[in-house]
Structure 1
């Protein structure tokens, strides 16, 4: 297998792992409080990342006070905020809905870059943001009863699902903010260093709220703990290693295409593991999100090819004859 196809395989496995976090979070959500589960996740992942840094011969980066604050906000949004909101949302909504909504991350990141960084989006990016918004709206808004007379239980279920979906949308915006803040860092930080920092700072930020939740007073849920261990080791550590090993072998825009596996793997695993039913609403939302990802990738490939295209050399004018 050549290097390019190895990269495709690694990126595919990494994104399937990301999709599986939605299913794992669904198993965790009803057995552990959100901050406690988040703290436990980072308590498991952080020592593994530290060991990986030692094996790779990498040292802690030296950053300014401003960048230390940025890293803390990054960890608070992308590490703690995303995980806590995802877990909170999955107490009320399905893993299939959550998978579709989290799959809209590339479009959400592009939207945040336009609003916060005043970046000028291409037409394909604008179309992608619109389609992803439609996909999220379909999942978020299509939760009402389809019967002629909605009873109180159906209305309550629809309201609960809507609340859960809104938590997931907020989680995706937290992850988009993480991507935005990463562009503001000036000190070069390797992916392994960043993952280690995010795990360590995430553990520090989630520890006090986890203690306030007093998880030791609750009954031990073995399934939830197994879900946290899986989340920490497979998608967090293993996914990191697979993603960056794969992305190093292929173009950046091509790597972005593999985010399409997030909603697909989440839906398939939700059906297989959680026995959820994938309805027409989820399929429509998934289609919108997948097309949005494809448009983002096409726009990225267009920009990448334009950047690599050599500039036409100016013709030298002949000197006037004496």
Structure 2
């Protein structure tokens, strides 16, 4: 029962996270990517302060400096850099491709685990990485891309891959911290409080690039659709998705998390198709399929490792 509830939490969390690509595409039409992160996080922090604000501050006062450093790294890589790269990239490439390319996170995580953590790279993992690379090649060489190819389009795809790499770095930091046995205090922090603290730190970090020459006047010109998207980005994509993710991770194994992360590109692709009316070519469907297959292969390796 615990494992089933964990899978439901992961499915909900990754599905909500998948809406970030489409939401970001809507917002980048009117706002700079450096502005979206602090504003959306600020909305979320203000709305949830009556529920978690005081408890989060008291919890932070009890944590060790090393624990706070881990939260800071999680906020920096998992939120600030991830969104900065994603929001900049989605403005240069198609929403469909951006969503699919976020699915390369497990493959990049496996490569970093091999290089940084010196983990053994077995056949399932190698097959998963190869499948992910093949998916990227198919997407980049789709007929739509060849017809409108430009350096900026390729740069957009590269920035989305950098966003996936930022998320992978977040995973590696968390894994290394757990392996060293230094997360005793963190295990006592409820998911809601951890989400609020990480988001608060991310908000403070995002103020640095966000308010440097920020066109504040643009905020007065945006309409209700943009404000609704900002609220969704903060309250749902950040708060609710993170809570579901933390709850799911506590109840499932690593291979299950890797498998369900395929909901991000799948959700993004379907939303782009039905709401943004973006065309999806055969190469993009095939590329997305290979990237989702890579997650399943890498997740299979994690399952095998657990059974040994």
Aligned to 1:95: 95
Q: Partners in 1 of 2:57 and 2:123 — Cα distance?
A: 43
Q: Is 1:159 matched with 2:151?
A: yes
Q: Is 1:178 matched with 2:178?
A: no
Aligned to 1:36: 35
| Residue deviations 1:178-209 (CA, integer Å, cap 9, x gap) | 11222343243144444223211111111132
Aligned to 2:266: 264
Q: Is 1:11 matched with 2:10?
A: yes
Preserved contact between residue 256 and residue 297 of structure 1 (Cα < 8 Å) = yes
Preserved contact between residue 49 and residue 192 of structure 1 (Cα < 8 Å) = no
**Bigger Cα Rg:** 1
Root-mean-square deviation (Å): 2.6
Normalized against structure 1, the TM-score is what?
Answer: 0.82
Q: Structure 2 regions of 5+ residues with no counterpart?
A: none
Aligned counterparts, 1:170-249, within 5 A: 170-185=162-177, 186-188=182-184, 189=186, 190=189, 191-218=191-218, 219-249=221-251
Aligned to 2:256: 254
**Which stretch of the first structure deviates more once superposed, 210-219 or 256-265?**
210-219
Q: Partners in 2 of 1:62 and 1:4 — Cα distance?
A: 29
| SS class of match (1:59) | helix
| Residue deviations 1:282-306 (CA, integer Å, cap 9, x gap) | 1121111111011111111111122
Give the 3 Å change call, closer, same or farther, for CA 4–175 of structure 1 in structure 2.
closer
Normalized against structure 2, the TM-score is what?
Answer: 0.86
Kindly tell me the number of residue pairs found equivalent between the two proteins.
296
Return the offset for 1:4: 4.3
Q: Partners in 2 of 1:72 and 1:247 — Cα distance?
A: 20
Q: Structure 1 regions of 5+ residues with no counterpart?
A: 148-153, 307-322
Higher helix share: 2
Return the offset for 1:141: 4.3
| SS class of match (2:260) | helix
Preserved contact between residue 141 and residue 162 of structure 1 (Cα < 8 Å) = no
Give the 3 Å change call, closer, same or farther, for CA 303–50 of structure 1 in structure 2.
farther
Preserved contact between residue 58 and residue 193 of structure 1 (Cα < 8 Å) = no
